[in-house]
Amino acid sequence: MLIPSRETGFLHPRSSEITPRGIYEGRRDMLRLLAGGVAGAALATWAGRDAWAAATPRPGKLAALPGGASAVSGAVTMEKLTSYQDASSYNNFYEFGTDKADPARNAHTLKTSPWTVEVEGLVKKPGKFGIEDLLKLSSQEERIYRLRCVEGWSMVIPWVGYSLAELIKRVEPLGSAKYVEFVTLADKATMPYVGSRVLDWPYTEGLRMDEALHPLTLLAFGMYGEVLPNQNGAPVRIVVPWKYGFKSAKSIVKIRFTEKEPPTAWNKAARNEYGFYSNVNPNVDHPRWSQATERRIGEDGLFAKKRKTLLFNGYEAQVGQLYAGMDLQKYY
């Protein structure tokens, strides 16, 4: 992004050590809800699946539950999972700071309960969804997605959620709705960088309607079988695996259906660097660096060989047809 990170490799303390009691209790309530409700039914146990499972138990760790991986094509990759430690301590969440270690350090102030997501704009059934209702709207699935950041690194993360399409169908978009805009929380009281001039707050993102309806587009509430840590976008975010990571807006408070392409935070900040589409594409360089290769977080030392970046982040079979006939150099 615009501001280079120092990439400190900072290891943050366990959340039991940094989370104030009130927030910790709130998270426990959410977990009870997850474990007891429809939402919990498909959250699988991840114990033993990878190295992260050996880590010290975290507060609110979910009990083993039956449930399998998603049946959506492309929703699972057999690549090695990024460790929970890396996925929750190396983040971009500029509302909490611009260094990769800042979100894990600062996001404990985010108050994720109560939480409401407002659906508005060109839909037959606009309304406000409490996070509890949103969690239960459809059954939760595990999706193991690659996340490729525009900065040149990637991770493999097991998300928990359901296709955004489930929510979209529920609110019945009008024929005139061509785009979906995501507006995220911008609360100066709890987010120390909101008010800074790094970005035009709130952080917003958008998708074309067919992208938003694509089954791979996930409305995510959890990762690694647990609710999302604050720094990863609690209590609800989207994950769009074939696009650069910045399209995956965190801590969403509003979903708006529009006729015109909505403005997006990074596009407003640097129009020639961050386009609306932002599909992962090794053939379209960022003006200041190549996008041909990537560094997989956690598995490589300073001199380790980089991986080749794949078109649409490896999801071409699933999403390539959405862009048939489009000039991807122009619509970057």
> Which residues are documented as binding site?
91, 94-95, 149, 184, 232, 237, 248-250
Are 260 and 179 in contact, with CB atoms under 8 Å apart? Answer: yes
Amino acid at 296: R
User: Distance from first CA to last CA of the chain, Å, rounded?
Assistant: 15
Using the contact rule CB under 6 A, the part of the chain among 63-71, 161-169, 241-249, 271-279 near ligand MTE is: 241-249
Amino acid at 128: K
CA of residue 317 relative to chain centroid, distance: 21
Using the contact rule CB under 6 A, the part of the chain among 14-22, 38-46, 131-139, 247-255 near ligand MTE is: 247-255
15 binds ligand MTE (CB under 6 A): no
232 binds ligand MTE (CB under 6 A): yes
248 binds ligand MTE (CB under 6 A): yes
Cα(137)–Cα(133) distance, rounded to whole angstroms? 6
| DSSP letter, residue 310 | P
91 binds ligand MTE (CB under 6 A): yes
Going from the C-alpha of 20 to that of each of 16, 17, 106, 250, 299, the distances in angstroms are: 8, 8, 12, 21, 32
Phi-psi region for residue 184, left (φ > 0), alpha (ψ -120 to 50) or beta?
beta
Whichever of 23 and 149 has its CB closer to ligand MTE, that residue is 149
Among 19, 89, 92, 264, binds ligand MTE (CB under 6 A): 92
Phi, psi of 219 (to 5 degrees): -95, 110
> Least distance to ligand MTE from the beta carbon of 325, Å?
29
Q: What angle do CA 186, 189, 195 make, to 5 degrees?
A: 55
Amino acid at 167: L
Q: Which of residues 43-62 bind ligand MTE (CB under 6 A)?
A: none
203 binds ligand MTE (CB under 6 A): yes
Closest CA to 186 of 94, 308, 123: 94
Whichever of 52 and 122 has its CB closer to ligand MTE, that residue is 52
145 binds ligand MTE (CB under 6 A): no
245 binds ligand MTE (CB under 6 A): yes
Per-residue contact string for residues 103-142; x = within reach of ligand MTE by CB under 6 A: ----------------------------------------
> In the complex, which residues of this chain contact ligand MTE (CB under 6 A)?
1, 91-95, 147, 149, 184, 203, 232-233, 245-246, 248-251
